[in-house]
Homo-oligomer: A and B are copies of this chain.
Amino acid sequence: MASASDDDPRIGDISEGRVLRAILARTAPASHTVLGPGDDAAVIAAPSASVVATADTLVEGPDFRLAWSSGYDLGWKSAAVNLSDIAAMGAVPTALLVSLAVPSDTRLSFVEAMADGFRECCAELAPGCSVVGGDLTVSELLVIAVTALGDLDGRTVVTRAGARPGDVVALAGELGVAAAGLGLLFARFRDGTTPVGVDRSALDAAQQRALDRQLRPVPPLALGPAAAGAGATAMMDVSDGLALDASRLADASDVTIDLSGVALDALAFGGDRGRALGGGEDHGLLATFPAGALPDGFARIGTVIARSGDSLLVDGEPVTRAGWDPYRDWDHSR
């Protein structure tokens, strides 16, 4: 009894093995892969004799909505946000492990599109890195748990804790563009409280770019190792908003960071300084450098000063920490 859906079966109607084969056919081993998927575990090159590792999960509801994100978008974004954390240590991404918990009525084509998103994000942003393993299970909602691995290529790891008074504070990337995209989704693509599909035709070019950056972030991964090579004293991925993340870096380093309002305005999407400070998910790199050492791709946005009562200042004035926290801010709609 053939039917139209035979070409695109539901995950719950086919074997785990068939789903995994379909995924693996779309993820090719890259140069760091010593032993790829298919055994109990994979083996990945770690030429520096250490491995940098991070894990970040996207959950349907707080982290994404299926009305707004395609399978491809979700694969891309799940890869990008993890790769960014590797770059923020000064490391080069070498491998991803992907654990999918998928509702049984999910179409195979959706999972295949996710695999395409993972593959193409790695190929474009982190050549040499690929999906080397993972896990598939059924679940009542879609959960994408990713672990990313990286290698320091002989460099010293750059933590959040090394900033010193006198260092330059610099940023690679934009500020507030992903939050602008999220704002568009909430304002323009809901029918009351329910998300509806995205019709891009009514958006101007800047709005479309904001939407793209929200759904498929493009972190400046190559600049992480470059910053480490240039002597960055501290670095982190800006995922929860610059104000919150810069405060974290300042706290970890026991210093105060004084940002320049003029510099913020220059990098703020749409010139919105509040969104530039509070908007999450931009995945730029915030780093501190000895004066005079700023590498290409980083813009100076402030100065490290001796610790005072406040973690973060803008033009010498305290600013409130604020940021996007899906754990706190989720509206409980999918």
A interface residues with partner B (beta carbon < 8 Å): 15-16, 34-35, 38-57, 59, 61-63, 85-86, 88-89, 91, 95, 97-99, 101, 132-141, 143, 145, 147-150, 152, 157, 159-161, 235-237, 252, 325-328, 330
Instruction: Report yes or no: B59 in contact with A34, Cβ–Cβ below 8 A.
Output: no
CA distance A188 to B192 in the complex (A): 48
Q: Are B63 and A327 in contact (CB under 8 A)?
A: no
Question: A42 contacts B35, CB within 8 Å?
Answer: no
Q: Are B138 and A62 in contact (CB under 8 A)?
A: yes
Minimum CB–CB distance for A36 against chain B, Å? 11
Complex formed: what's the CA distance from A73 to B140 in Å? 22
A contact face: mostly helix, strand, loop, or mixed = strand
Q: For the complex, what is the distance from the CA of A252 to the CA of B35, rounded to whole Å?
A: 14
Q: How many angstroms from the CA of A45 to the CA of B43 in the assembled complex?
A: 15
Q: Are B141 and A141 in contact (CB under 8 A)?
A: yes
Which of chain B's residues have a CB closer than 8 A to the CB of A150? Answer: 41
> Is B59 a contact of A98 with CB atoms below 8 Å?
no
Q: Which residues of B contact A63 (CB under 8 A)?
A: 137
Q: Contacts A40-B89, A140-B140: A95 and B16 contacting too (C-beta < 8 A)?
A: no
Residue contact A89 to B140, C-beta cutoff 8 Å? no
Neighbouring B residues of A16 by C-beta, 8 Å: 325, 327-328
- Cβ A49 vs Cβ B47 within 8 A: yes
- With a CB–CB cut-off of 8 A, which chain B residues contact A134? 55
Within 8 Å CB of A50, what residues of B? 34, 43-46
A56 to B145, alpha carbons, bound, how many Å? 10
